């Protein structure tokens, strides 16, 4: 059994964005030497998410707008207060909640050196608190 980890930097150029990372994950697996196993895609942050969905602009808009309705910017959140541990105002409660809804990772099988995904499925890194420099991990296990 082999274990391989890649850390991928990413910057969305918008405050809120869904970035398609399917090709990056596929390339990483293809170059890993692992033929059969699993791959985990995991974000390192608490105001971002990793998810799978169909890569249509209309679907992406519906996802982001639905998340906005569930966690609107203007709501009065417990997190909206001065945080002495940072010296800043906690202004990103919606990002934390959207991250909770999306989840921090996805898992896929690796078979014959390829990532197995449904025909309509794409992998996304979701930015809910941009613009920031972010990282996600691609962790591959197998042989």
Partner 1 sequence: MVIDTHIHPALFAPICTDANRFGQRCDEMNYHLMKPSDMGLLKEQYALADIGRVVLLPEDCSAETGTPAISNDEIAQLVAIDPAFYLGMAAVDPRRVDACAELERAFAELGLSGLKVNTARLKMYPSDERLRPLYALCRRYRKPILFHAGLCLENRALAKYAHPMEFEEIAQDYPDVNICLAHFGWPWVQETAALLIKYPNLYANTALVNFDGPYQLFEKVFRQDMGEDWLEHNLADKVMFGSGSPRIRPVRSKRGMDSLGLSPKVMDKIYRHNAIKFFGLEEAE
Minimal CA–CA distance to 20: which of 121, 123, 133? 123
Q: How far is the CB of 30 from partner 1 (least distance, A)?
A: 31
Please, which residue, 91 or 113, has the CB nearer to partner 1? Answer: 91
Q: At what angle do helices 57-70 and 93-102 cross, to 10 degrees?
A: 120
Residue number with CB closer to partner 1 (83 or 111)? 83
Nearest approach in angstroms of CB 9 to partner 1 is 12
**Binding-site ranges for partner 1 (CB under 8 A):** 11, 13-15, 73-74, 76-77, 80-82, 85-89, 91, 93, 131-133
**31-61 b/e with 16+ CB inside 10 Å = b?**
ebebeebebebbbebebbbbbbbeeeeeebe
Question: Closer CB to partner 1, residue 90 or residue 103?
Answer: 90
**Cβ proximity to partner 1, 15 vs 143, nearer residue:** 15
CB of 123 to partner 1, least distance (A): 24
CA separation for the pair 91, 79 (Å, rounded): 7
Residue 125 Cα distances to 78, 80, 113, angstroms: 26, 25, 22
User: Nearest approach, Cβ of 2 to partner 1 (angstroms)?
Assistant: 33
């Amino acid at each position: 059994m082999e274990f391989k980890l890649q850390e991928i930097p990413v910057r969305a150029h918008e405050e809120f964005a869904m970035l398609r990372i399917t090709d990056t994950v596929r390339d990483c697996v293809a170059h890993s030497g692992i033929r059969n196993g699993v791959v985990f895609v995991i974000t390192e942050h608490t105001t971002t998410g990793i998810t799978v969905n169909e890569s249509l602009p209309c679907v992406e808009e519906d996802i982001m707008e639905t998340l906005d309705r569930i966690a609107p910017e203007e709501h009065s959140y417990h997190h909206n207060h001065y945080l002495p541990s940072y010296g800043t105002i906690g202004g990103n409660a919606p990002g934390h909640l959207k991250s909770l809804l999306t989840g921090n990772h996805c898992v896929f099988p690796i078979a014959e050196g390829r990532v197995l995904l449904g025909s309509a499925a794409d992998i996304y890194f979701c930015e809910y608190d941009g613009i920031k420099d972010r990282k996600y991990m691609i962790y591959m296990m197998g042989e």
